Structure formats: structure tokens, C-alpha cells
Chain A
Amino acid sequence: MDNLIWGYVYPNEVEIQWSILIVLYPYITGLVAGAFIASSLYHVFGKQEIKPVARFALLTALSFLLVATMPLLTHLGHPERGIEIMFTPHLTSAMSGFGYIYSFYLIIVVLEIWLSFREDIVKKAHSSKGWKELMYSALALFSYDISEKALHEDEKLAKRLAIIGIPSAAFLHGYVGFIFGGIKANPWWSTPLMPLIFLMSAIVSGIALLILLYIASMKIRKHAIDHKCLHSLAHYLWVFLIFDVTLELLEIISMKYESLEEIDIINRLLSDKIAFTFYGVQLTMGIFIPFVLLLLVGMMKNRETLKMIMISISSVFVIIGVFAMRWNVVIGGQEISKSLSGTLTYVPVFFSQEGVLPAIIILVIPFIILRVITYILPPWKDMEEEVT
């Protein structure tokens, strides 16, 4: 154990408190926020190119949102008391708003999904029999009005909801950044840029996930990929990567330039503890390589398959890079001692309540949920029509 520690760490710090599960929490909420914002590009900003994936993006957001509380609850010393955060929130705590922000956002996402699928649900209710009819009727809330006028109203409402949805998605995730950014005890966390950095990396990870899921779904369904849509997503991914890298570098550069008391330990963190995951995975693999690849995609003509492969690689890299970013924040921040005179090492365990296994399970669940929801509510409306 001793060789995991360098220098002096406070005796109580030997135990790392926030494990890989707490890395997952901002990662998952980030994917949610990103996917939702991607769908808003269509719903709010009327970007028609995004339309093919707009509804799918909402379902993706919901699937991940449903598991967002899991890593937190699993990690609590008293999960059964977790609900107190709703009943007696202590408002000076950045964490206390979680229950409310989460619930509010969940309602918005569900409503948004309901409105964009209502027409299909009603049609399904009419066309199916037995328990299916019952299920779809219940989903339709037994209101079957799908007249032109009603649908138009739906659309208007959906747009308004999405307009509220964007700031709340931004809030949901920016606020997660503040949970870390507001901790003055930890020089690696304490920066007002944290919410923005979290938000930008959330958006890129969400878009990248959407791209991958879209390509995978089309391959599974043996359906042609809408390249216009794909390129548009890739374009937004590229744009948000620029914001992301600007903020992330700004933070490091200003820390290094100002060289306050904590700079020695920060330098040690960056050059020793998280050198590989920070410079290697987060910056090079997660940002610079995708940035260049996507730039090339933007310049290339034709050669759709090659472009698709490049976009896919970029997306995989972005998703891994953002995970590394969460890791570097959550774990990196705990690998430096608050005595500023030492470092420690987090060694993940596989089988334990806070180990790698539960983390993997929690990461797999959203894909299962997504499979189920897309079965009940097929999001590929336009293509459905093409096929039949």
C-alpha cells in the first residue's frame, strides 16, 4: 500500500472516497444532456437534417437518464436514506438540488417523447389487438385525437418543451460540474470553468454516442444511412469539440501560468499520476485526433464509406476521451492530497459494491432499456414508411 503513496497525505486520505461509480455519474448525465441537446437541434432550431435521429436521440436520453441515479445510490453508505435529499434538501449544498433537477428533467424528457410519438401510439392502439392494444391505449392516455389540428398543437407544445429542455439539460449537467467546481478544498476541482467544461464535454459525448447508435441501428436494420444527417451530426460534434478543448486548455494554462501554491502538486498530478489518461486519452485521443478526422471529413468529397468510418472512429475516440476526462477529474482530484504535499493511487477493484463490475453493469443497462423502448416506440418513422 505504501508504494501507492508519495510524499505526505493526511492520514484519513489513504482511503479514496469516490470510486469509479462516481466517474460514471457525470459520464452518464453527460450522455443524457448531449443526446437531448442533439435532438433539440431539430425540435427547437428546426435543423431538418437532424430529423431522422431526433426521436431516437430522445429515447437514448431517456434510457441513460433512467440509470443516472444508479451509480449514486449504489455508492451511498445508506441508500435507503437517499430519498431524504428530496424531503429535506440542504440548499447550500450543490448536491441537494440533484433530486429536483433530475425529476424535473425526467418529466420534460418523458413529455417530449410522448408528444413526438403520440401520433404513432394512437395509430398502433387502433391497429393492434389484445394486450398490445391495451398498452398502446394506455400510452396514448386514452386520448385518440390525431387530427391535423391536434398534431399541430402537439408540435407547438413539443417545441416549447424542448426550449425549456435545453436550459434544463444544460443545468442538469452544468450543475454536476459545480458539484466538483465548488469544492475549494480541492485545487484540481475548484474552478468556475468546471460547469462549462462539463457541459461541453457532455454535448460532444452525447452527439458521438448518438452517431454510433445511429450507424449501429441502421446496420442492424439493414437500412441505408442518411449521410446528410450523419454529416450534420459530425459537423456539430466538430464545432463543440472546439469549445470543449478551448475550455479544457484554458483551465490548465491559467493554472500553470498563475502558479499558485498548489502548482507543484498539480504538475505532479499531470506529469505522473494522470499523464497518460490526461494528455494521451483525454486530449490526444479524445479531442485532437477526432478534430482532425472530422475536419478531413468536412473537406472530402464523395467516398461516403470512408467518411462514415472516419466519423465512427472519431465518435468512439470522443466517447472514450470524455470518459477519461471524467476519470481525470473525479479520480485525479482524489489522487492529490489536500495537504498539497503528496499523492495517492486509486486501485479499482473488480468485484465489490463500488467495483468495476457494477460499473459495467450500470453501463450496459441503458442499452437494454433502449432496445426495449425502441421496440415499443420505433423511432424510425420515415424509414418505416419507405420499407412498407
Chain B
Amino acid sequence: MEVTRRKFTKIGCKVILGAAAVSAIIESVVTNGTAAENSPAGEYDWNEHFWGYVVDTRKCIGCGRCANACKLENDVPFDEPVYRTWVERYRTKRDGEVVIDSPNGSINGFPEDIPPEEVKKAFYVPKICNHCDNPPCVQVCPVGATFATKDGVVLVDYQYCIGCRYCIQGCPYGARYFNTEKGTADKCTWCYHRITKGLLPACVQACPTGARKFGDLKDPDSIVNKILDEERINVLKLDLGTKPKVYYIGLDREVR
């Protein structure tokens, strides 16, 4: 764990430095500051929080830093096709065809494999576990190894999971994967080890444009609540009744 965190700090520095080129860095630093302040370190009481997440698809530039930061922070193997978060690219060609891709979950960015003049419209959509308020993954786990915490985070108990993979089938968003090393299901934790110490999830911290926001839904002044109050938001696969807690701004109808 220590090593990971040290590693992460290193990468974090790199990420921040790299991001300096992007003008939006200022906004991202400011945002990070406020969200972190909203959850002071110290005794953590999970009854006092209920976390939420916002993705502003209009801001995402598809750099894939979030996906990188996540793998580093959470020891997700780089050489396996498993991701706790990833970025999708949607391109509508002039002939109307929609091409969706996410090569290696966006970790190495996106190659320009269609000549720009053929593309009519393009945008990126970051994806992550929605920490659903009515999570089908929790519903289907036969032993209760997948559970929702009081502060609204869906986690896997690695000591308890029998590795049946029913939850992976049950998640409509492809947010879960099988951890071959642990022999259990695995997924995004919203960096529970960080948020309970007042830090932001690694992906939110790493995003140079502020496309990812994290905050406390129980705090009326949190960044997430402000956005929910002001913006027109949507969630993924609304009709499935999973009640996602990752809210999207600028969600296109093509997004699955």
C-alpha cells in the first residue's frame, strides 16, 4: 500500500506537471481544493457522507490520465484487459456511421485512425462504476461479498468473495472485472482509502480539465450538489432502474 501511494505521488506530480500545459489546470486545482476541504481528515464517520460523482463530457479531452492514475493507485495490472475506469471515444462519420472505441481503456490515448475530414462529430465519455443506489451487482451476489457502504460506495470484500462472477454478469455497465490474482471480482472503489481520509479519488485528482468531479451529496455546498442544482444532467441506462450516482453533463444519445 505504502509503495503504491509513493508511486502514485510520483505519478501525480508528473500528471500535474503535464497538465500545466492545459489552461484548465487552474480550474482543476481550485476544484480539487474545495472538494477535499469538504471532507476533513481525521475520524471518519460514514453516516455523515453520501458520495456522488459528476462527469462533464464536454470537458474531457481523452488524454487517459485518469485511467493511468487509477491503475497505478489501485494496483490494477497494466498488462491485462481490466479497468476500473476508462474513457470512450464516440465519432460520427460523415456517412452517419457511429464508431465507438476505447483502445486499452484509453491508457495510451487515442490513435487518429479515421482521417479528421471524415469525422462529423466526436467526443469523449469517461466511464467508471456508477456506485448505483440500487445496484444489481449487490443484488445478485450469492454470499453478500459485494455490498454498499453507508456512505454510498459499492465495494467487494476480497476475503469473502467466492469468485462466481455473477456480479460481473449483473452489472449493466461493464464496470467489474475478475481479478485473477485475488481470484475474486474487482471494481472501482472511488478510492475509498483516499476519500475516507479527505482526499479525492485518483482519477478526479489526475484529470487536467476538471471533467471528473467528486463530492458529498449530503453537503449542500459540495461541488457535486452545485452541479446537480444548476446543470441538466443525465445518468447511464436510466431505464434499468439502477439509480447511478455518477451524473453526466452533456450525455449524447449515442452513449451506451
| Set B169, B182, B256: member contacting A341, Cβ < 8 A | B256
The segment from B5-13, B99-107, B194-202 found at the interface with A is B99-107
B165 interface contact, C-beta 8 A: yes
What B residues does A12 contact at CB under 8 A? 81-83, 168, 174-177
B163 interface contact, C-beta 8 A: yes
Q: A10-B173, A93-B141, A185-B169 are in contact. List 4 more A-B contacts (CB 8 A).
A: A12-B168, A183-B170, A338-B174, A339-B100
Q: How far is the CB of B76 from chain A (nearest CB, A)?
A: 11
Closest chain B residue to A8, Cβ basis: B100
Contact B256 A93 (CB under 8 A): no
Q: How far is the CB of A98 from chain B (nearest CB, A)?
A: 7
The segment from A75-83, A144-152, A200-208, A290-298 found at the interface with B is A75-83
Q: Interface size (A, Cβ < 8 Å)?
A: 43
Report the bound CA distance from A258 to B152 in whole Å: 36
A222 interface contact, C-beta 8 A: no
| Set B102, B164, B177, B185: member contacting A8, Cβ < 8 A | B102
B86 interface contact, C-beta 8 A: yes
> Can you show 18 pairs from A to B with CB atoms below 8 A apart?
A8-B256, A10-B102, A11-B81, A11-B86, A12-B168, A12-B177, A17-B168, A76-B164, A77-B164, A78-B163, A79-B162, A81-B143, A84-B162, A88-B144, A92-B140, A186-B169, A338-B171, A338-B173
What A residues does B127 contact at CB under 8 A? 10
Q: How far is the CB of A101 from chain B (nearest CB, A)?
A: 12
What B residues does A75 contact at CB under 8 A? 164
Contact A76 B169 (CB under 8 A): no
A96 interface contact, C-beta 8 A: yes
Q: How far is the CB of B163 from chain A (nearest CB, A)?
A: 2
A49 interface contact, C-beta 8 A: no
| Set A7, A84, A95: member contacting B140, Cβ < 8 A | A95
B160 interface contact, C-beta 8 A: yes
Closest chain A residue to B84, Cβ basis: A12
Contact A88 B162 (CB under 8 A): no
Contact A185 B171 (CB under 8 A): yes
What B residues does A82 contact at CB under 8 A? 162
Residue from the set A11, A18, A88, A179 with the largest chain B CB neighbour count within 10 Å:
A11
Report the bound CA distance from A98 to B243 in whole Å: 28
Residue from the set A85, A96, A98, A185 with the largest chain B CB neighbour count within 10 Å:
A185
Contact A11 B170 (CB under 8 A): no
Contact A17 B140 (CB under 8 A): no
List B residues 138-183 near A (Cβ within 8 Å): 138-144, 160-166, 168-178, 182-183
Q: How far is the CB of A266 from chain B (nearest CB, A)?
A: 15
Report the bound CA distance from A361 to B127 in whole Å: 41
Closest chain A residue to B80, Cβ basis: A15
What B residues does A342 contact at CB under 8 A? 100
A340 interface contact, C-beta 8 A: yes
- Mask for A86-97, Cβ within 8 A of B = 1, else 0? 001110111110
Q: How far is the CB of A209 from chain B (nearest CB, A)?
A: 27
Closest chain A residue to B106, Cβ basis: A11
Contact B174 A13 (CB under 8 A): yes
Report the bound CA distance from A7 to B178 in whole Å: 23
Tell me whether A90 and B160 are in contact in the complex, defined as CB-CB below 8 angstroms, given that A8-B101, A10-B173, A77-B178 are known contacts. no
B136 interface contact, C-beta 8 A: yes
| Set A81, A85, A339: member contacting B174, Cβ < 8 A | A339
Contact A93 B140 (CB under 8 A): yes
A184 interface contact, C-beta 8 A: yes
A14 interface contact, C-beta 8 A: yes
- Mask for B63-100, Cβ within 8 A of A = 1, else 0? 00000000000000000011100101000000000011
Report the bound CA distance from A92 to B140 in whole Å: 6
Contact B240 A185 (CB under 8 A): yes
Report the bound CA distance from A160 to B225 in whole Å: 62
Residue from the set A10, A88, A98, A338 with the largest chain B CB neighbour count within 10 Å:
A10
Closest chain B residue to A261, Cβ basis: B239
Q: How far is the CB of A90 from chain B (nearest CB, A)?
A: 4
| Set B88, B136, B143, B177: member contacting A85, Cβ < 8 A | B143
B184 interface contact, C-beta 8 A: yes
What A residues does B99 contact at CB under 8 A? 8
Contact A10 B174 (CB under 8 A): yes
Contact A92 B256 (CB under 8 A): no
Report the bound CA distance from A179 to B141 in whole Å: 11
Report the bound CA distance from A12 to B177 in whole Å: 6
Closest chain B residue to A11, Cβ basis: B105
Q: How far is the CB of B8 from chain A (nearest CB, A)?
A: 21
